[in-house]
Structure 1
């Protein structure tokens, strides 16, 4: 796949942060594929940064599990595997179920509607717009925001921090299955059900729906990986 042309570096970003964002986006969208060698000098020239901020960016991407530094060789885009995805998704399912339950319990215990609920509804409407426009990047961003806003209601910062690490590493897999229009539509329908249960303060239903939502993404992903036919954004 041809590489998208990198726009100019925003004044608000450090060069290493800029390089990190551009490379991460290319990996998540499949522009840089599994096992692809990262030619540092070419990439540095294209992004108009020196090798030092580029190396900082690559180190961050390695911590995210998106690239690999092979000693005495070169940086490469990390491979994808069912085993790695299973580890990430099952960990996420357990944490997200617990956070969703705690969030719904807070809704149930509150004498007045929690302010955060209105924001979640707005995010969900924006998700429908992104799905209609087949805007993959925006759909992923809003997917993160939808779940994060719910889990912030739980007031469990340590658990949320642990989840964010797993979600960062699983973003690549999320990008793969959300690229399928049918899965994206299923995901939005599940979000509607989760929000309805949350609004009602039904902790058990919110927790179960959230767990099944995460595992539904996992099943969709496994079907694609085992068929060796990663979904694309076209057609």
Structure 2
């Protein structure tokens, strides 16, 4: 059995990425490299490598003589991200349902159960679980499709957090996720494509009004 040893840069990437996605590092905030390096007990070399990757992934922006800032949320960016999801994800999820093996179906059930458990728990990170649930439906498509949509979901995660802030949104999402999983497990492909597209489009429409102005 092989043991995967992750580099210090990879570990730093994961930590800073999570701080951005969860809002610990707020949109528009400067990235204080000295503070992060001290907190993590690392040199600036792996930190700079991690920050460069996060900029490539669309979570940070860099400016000459100013360093990095966390990319602000914007209505235009949300529209672009969710429009891409609307174009790509329903077809990928349909293919995932078509090719899913029993192990894939079990993983999708577990992903939804983990999401619903975190929705009902204090301190649970149900937004990250939301991403993992959606990706579990895509995974049977293959690694390239999975990697492309994983990156898109990471970009969308901060917007999903914003979307779920108003009261009642989580219950709506819960109902829609159950309907999506039911259609996916049953390989009801026309229904699956329709309900998933409606789910994504509904979030996009809500975000337009929340982020306008």
**Corresponding position of 1:4:** none
RMSD value, Cα:
2.2
Instruction: Choose from 183, 187, 191 the match for 2:169.
Output: 183
Distance 1:33 1:121 in 2: 33
Contact 1:123 1:145 in 2 (8 A): yes
Contact 1:32 1:77 in 2 (8 A): yes
Matched, 1:128 2:116: yes
Closer/same/farther in 2, CA of residues 136 and 174 from structure 1, 3 Å limit:
farther
Matched, 1:83 2:73: no
SS at the partner of 2:69?
A: strand
Deviation at 1:87, TM superposition (A): 0.6
Closer/same/farther in 2, CA of residues 135 and 211 from structure 1, 3 Å limit:
farther
Deviation at 1:149, TM superposition (A): 1.9
Matched, 1:149 2:136: yes
Distance 2:27 2:8 in 1: 25
Deviation at 1:41, TM superposition (A): 1.4
Contact 1:16 1:56 in 2 (8 A): yes
Closer/same/farther in 2, CA of residues 106 and 132 from structure 1, 3 Å limit:
same
Distance 2:20 2:104 in 1: 32
Closer/same/farther in 2, CA of residues 161 and 24 from structure 1, 3 Å limit:
closer
Q: What is the TM-score normalised by the length of structure 2?
A: 0.87
Distance 1:131 1:99 in 2: 26
**Corresponding position of 1:6:** none
Closer/same/farther in 2, CA of residues 180 and 27 from structure 1, 3 Å limit:
farther
Q: How many residues are aligned here?
A: 209
Contact 1:136 1:179 in 2 (8 A): no
The correspondence of residues 155-174 of structure 1 with structure 2, limited to 5 A, is: 155-174=141-160
SS at the partner of 2:102?
A: coil
Deviation at 1:175, TM superposition (A): 2.7
Distance 1:124 1:143 in 2: 8
Deviation at 1:158, TM superposition (A): 3.5
Deviation at 1:75, TM superposition (A): 1.2
Closer/same/farther in 2, CA of residues 193 and 143 from structure 1, 3 Å limit:
same
SS at the partner of 1:102?
A: helix
Distance 1:15 1:219 in 2: 40
Distance 2:34 2:7 in 1: 19
| Structure 1: gaps (5+ residues) | 1-11, 108-112, 229-235
